[in-house]
């Protein structure tokens, strides 16, 4: 599990951002399953994820993946 590779400050970032990201994903999936998806809702979804810090979270996890890969070599 990549979460085990996170260091202190990265865990704080994950703990701050991940719950909001999960809530957004769950909300949109529920809406899409019951009512379908269109371009406007997809764009809104991406905007909300970016606003919630998705890019920061991806960068944080990528750093952990890179460190784990370096340690494995």
Q: Is residue 10 a contact partner of residue 65, using CB atoms and an 8 Å limit? A: no
CA 57 centroid distance within chain: 5
Q: How far, in Å, CA of 56 to CA of 61, rounded?
A: 9
The Cα-based distances of 33 to 30, 37, 40, 41, 60 in angstroms read 5, 8, 16, 13, 30
Q: How far, in Å, CA of 46 to CA of 71, rounded?
A: 33
pLDDT of residue 54: 98
Q: What is the mean pLDDT of each run of 10 residues along the chain (73 residues)?
A: 81 95 97 95 98 97 90 83
């Amino acid at each position: 599990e990549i979460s085990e590779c996170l260091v202190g400050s990265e865990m704080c970032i994950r703990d701050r951002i991940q719950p909001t990201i999960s809530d957004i994903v769950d909300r949109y999936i529920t809406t899409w399953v019951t009512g379908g998806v269109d371009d406007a809702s997809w764009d809104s979804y991406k905007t909300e994820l970016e606003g919630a810090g998705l890019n920061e979270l991806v960068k944080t996890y990528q750093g952990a993946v890179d460190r784990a890969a370096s340690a494995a070599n």
